[in-house]
Amino acid sequence: MAALETKRRARRTSGACARVCGALVVTVAAGALPTHAKLASSKAQESAMIARIVPVTEKWLRHVNDSFDKKEPFQNDITAFARDLGSLEGGIFGDMYICTDVARLCVYAQHKDARLYKAIDDFNTAADQLCVDDKARYYAAKAKLFAEKLVPPDSLKREWIVRLVNDCCLASRYGVDADKNCAAVRRFADKSGLKDAPLDDYACRIYQDYGRFFLTKTKASGKSKDALETALQAIREIPAPSNMDFGSCGQQKSDADLLAAYDRSFVQPLSSNLGKNKDAFLVEVCKKFWQQKKLVSLALPRVALPSPDAFDLFRKAGDDDALKADPRIATAELALWKKAKKLREFKTKFPDRYRLARAAAGR
């Protein structure tokens, strides 16, 4: 029975590949399949992608054939548009064997039924089988498709920008620069006359998804040096006080609340994945955002390993009017000197700091 099931699976896979290869031939004929880019995904991921593509392709090809006159003169339009799509994000649509399918849906949506634009989203489940880099290319290409290659009818502009934002969010979640995605949304809103579009809320969502990308990548790096580099890139790309209170876009928050959320939802999860590099990261957070005193007051007390940079930051805090009276910082500073076995030096050089730390400890 096991052998029979294996043969059945092989026949199904062979049939699927044959159908996709047929679509591939059309794409190549259209000149839309690039030769310079290939999927970065594994063969298993590519196979899983193909398994999702086949029923989608068959479904919409059948719908087009059954719903519209087969003699409609759209083939030249489809071929030309497929060729145009072939350059998006290194040719990801061609790499996925869907360039002609996407072009067909777009052309028929333009000429026959605008609802077919939504059908393109059916390929998302196929793209989601791929590796992070390929998913980033796919959603970035979709965003460019809807922002630059298509012109929505007036009745769909508001729905269109929501779709665009969703694709930009997914692109950022897989590592595409949030600034680029926000700029694409702004350009679309401007050229479409959507002056009342909530661009700040859209940008907030895009940046939060970009933050999720860095959190996921740091965790996957396994407390290595690569994880530290990713965490440092994260705070460069998403500076405080960006709204990292996930799911709260559209809500009014003070800078203090935003900084607290940035620490709670971004800095702390990033640092928890860094192992022995945690203190080096926290030091860099404090150095980079020194003017954001609320954030420094939260991050600096968690610095626990003696280092020249750490001692320098605590000295600066002791001279800073906004930080010098913070008992948590003084307590952490005392612990740092003690760990360095220089407690007497701390008491002699910084008696006020020493007294504040002792008072905070109740001694």
Q: Which residues neighbour 222 within 8 Å (Cβ) at sequence distance 6 or greater?
A: none
The pLDDT value given to residue 40: 97
37 pLDDT tier (thresholds 50, 70, 90): low
The pLDDT value given to residue 173: 98
Q: Tell me: the pLDDT tens digits for 231-275?
A: 999 999 999 999 999 999 999 999 999 999 999 999 999 999 999
- Asked whether the predicted pLDDT for residue 4 surpasses 60, the reply is no
CB-based contact 122:56 (threshold 8 Å): yes
| Full-model pTM | 0.87
- Measure the CA–CA gap between 310 and 333, rounded to whole angstroms: 9
Mean pLDDT of 15-40: 46
- Asked whether the predicted pLDDT for residue 123 surpasses 50, the reply is yes
The pLDDT value given to residue 73: 74
Tell me the two tokens of residue 264. 């709670």
223 pLDDT tier (thresholds 50, 70, 90): confident
The pLDDT value given to residue 224: 86
- Measure the CA–CA gap between 93 and 145, rounded to whole angstroms: 11
Q: Which of 48-52, 61-65, 328-332 has the lowest mean pLDDT?
A: 61-65
The pLDDT value given to residue 114: 93
Name the amino acid, one letter, at 316. Answer: K
Name the amino acid, one letter, at 284. Answer: E
The pLDDT value given to residue 361: 78
- Measure the CA–CA gap between 303 and 331, rounded to whole angstroms: 11
175 pLDDT tier (thresholds 50, 70, 90): very high
Q: Domain coordinates of the chain in residue numbers?
A: 215-303, 306-363
CB-based contact 129:146 (threshold 8 Å): no
Tell me the two tokens of residue 352. 């006020």
Q: Which residue has the tokens 């076995």?
A: 341
338 pLDDT tier (thresholds 50, 70, 90): very high
3-state secondary structure of 203: helix
- Measure the CA–CA gap between 129 and 14, rounded to whole angstroms: 19
- Measure the CA–CA gap between 288 and 301, rounded to whole angstroms: 16
The pLDDT value given to residue 18: 39
Q: Is the peptide bond before 301 cis (omega within 30 degrees of 0)?
A: no
DSSP secondary structure string for all residues of 188-235: HHHHHT-TT--HHHHHHHHHHHHHHHHHHHHHHTTSSHHHHHHHHHHH
Mean pLDDT of 51-79: 89
Tell me the two tokens of residue 211. 């933050």
b/e map of 255-264 (b: 16 or more CB within 10 Å)?
eebbbbbbbe
222 pLDDT tier (thresholds 50, 70, 90): confident
